[in-house]
Amino acid sequence: MRVGILWTKLSGYLNACLQELASREGVQLFVSHQTPALDAPFDESQFAWMKNRLMWRANSELNAIEPKLQEFNPDVLIFAGWAVPAYRRMAKVFAGKCLRIMTMDNCWLGTAKQRLATQIAPFYIRPLADAVWLPGERQAVFARKLGFEQREILRGLYCCDQRRLEAIHSGRLLAGSPVSRAFLFVGRFVQDKGIDTLVKAYEIYRAHSSNPWPLICCGTGPLHTLLENEPGIQIEGFLQPEQLRYRFGQAGCLVLPSDFEPWAVVVHEAASAGLLILASENVGAAVHLVQDNYNGYIFGGKDATGLAALLQRVSAMTDERLDEMSRASHSLSLQFSPRHWAQTLLDVAGQWAGGAKVAASGVLANKTRQALHVKSPV
């Protein structure tokens, strides 16, 4: 099976999924991706194993993609959204020639732009793809409004390098160690991540706690000055995946006060590592990975006072209660993994090959829907 991946910026977690897919017998990959961003400078060497790939900085550099894809002749084409003109063009070129899967992580917010998208979707978006692959239920609402039927919606698009991260949790249990008493924030230091809420909440918490936990902040961005010189806050900067795993092992609770966060893979990373999770209601992944008073708590966006109270609540827990919630986090993390990711793709591609691909005429689209209807991967 030949799988073409037309992506934007690669990440450590997608790398884990692609490696799992490439490890399956008979799978060949072609990967097109943008060079790493300055605010998330992943080490490019981790992607060096991908021998057949096209790297680009600007859309103008994608003129070479069509001949490369034609030569590769994909059975499956996975492309990131509808914003990259060259990717839209490839989706049209390969209509009827392979299974086309569009990915998206947009949550339905009912904005004017999204409402416009639903109006033009039958002509501009829906014809690009035979199926859509997304992280979870908040995205599925939008996908249905764009015209995708339930049987054409695949879930579990985003997941972390779970095997390596859950080793942190299993290692702690094996050693009989208590949950580390430290808070952790991972993300860009920008407004969307709720940095101002985080700083204010932590200040309130420290002022009312006799033995406050430290707050480790991993990331980079223009709002780093808000974190500097704040008592108890330790700034680590952007960390590569292996460095970040070490920090997960030093903390007991992830704090994510985002103002806007369609998903947040870091929630899955934290859950896999057995961390408790405090997430704002704006975090898409919280729907699946945070259950109140089970493995963490959900609070209102921009509610610094509410977050401060939860910081106090968590830090006052006994080791036994922290351990109980840590185990609960890990159990919720098992919903997603690179193995499930790869199997979802292979299952739906196999169904399409067994059903739709036997068609050689204009019934191809209908056959595709029938193939997708055989089994709805989770």
pLDDT digits (tens, 9 = 90+) for 243-271: 999 999 999 999 999 999 999 999 999 99
List the structure tokens of 128. 């690009």
Residue indicated by tokens 């009989």: 176
**3-class SS of residue 132:** strand
Instruction: Encode burial over 142-160: b for 16+ CB neighbours within 10 A, e otherwise.
Output: bbbebebeeebbbbbbbbb
The DSSP annotation for 86-129 comes to HHHHHHHHTTTTSEEEEE--PPP---HHHHHHHHHHHHHTGGG-
Closest by CA position to 135, among listed 342, 284, 334: 284
For residue 303, what pLDDT band results from cuts at 50, 70 and 90?
very high
Percent of the chain with pLDDT over 70: 93
Structure tokens at 175: 């050693």
- Measured CA to CA, the distance from residue 235 to residue 66 in angstroms comes to 44
Taking residues 114-118, what's their average pLDDT? 95
pTM (whole model) above 0.85: yes
Domains located in the chain, CATH noted: 2-159+338-365 (3.40.50.2000), 162-333 (3.40.50.2000)
Considering only CA atoms, give the Rg of the chain.
22
Note the pLDDT of residue 356.
55
Distance of CA 284 to the CA centre of its chain: 10
- 106 to 140, 152, 282, 309: CA distances (angstroms): 9, 17, 12, 30
Confidence of residue 180 (pLDDT cuts 50, 70, 90): very high
Can you tell me the mean pLDDT for 309-316? 98
The per-residue pLDDT for range 318-328, each reduced to its tens digit, is 999 999 999 99
Predicted confidence (pLDDT) per residue in 127-167, tens digit: 999 999 999 999 999 999 999 999 999 999 999 999 999 99
Q: How much is the pLDDT for 372?
A: 53
The DSSP result for 21-61, as a single string, is HHTSTT-EEEEEEEPPBTTB---GGGGTT--SEEEESSGGG
Q: What percent of the chain has pLDDT over 90?
A: 84
- Split at pLDDT 50, 70, 90, the class of 378 is very low
Q: Check if the beta carbon of residue 316 is closer than 8 Å to that of residue 335.
A: no
Q: Which residues pair with 32 in a beta bridge?
A: 6, 54
| CA 67 vs CA 64, 72, 82, 85, 93: distances in Å | 6, 9, 20, 16, 11
Query: What contacts 126, CB < 8 A, 6 or more positions away?
Result: 146, 147, 148
- Beta-sheet pairing, 215-218 with 183-186: parallel
Cα–Cα dist 309/200, whole Å = 12
**Residue 185: CA count within 13 A, CB half-sphere:** 33
**Whether pLDDT at 241 is above 90:** no
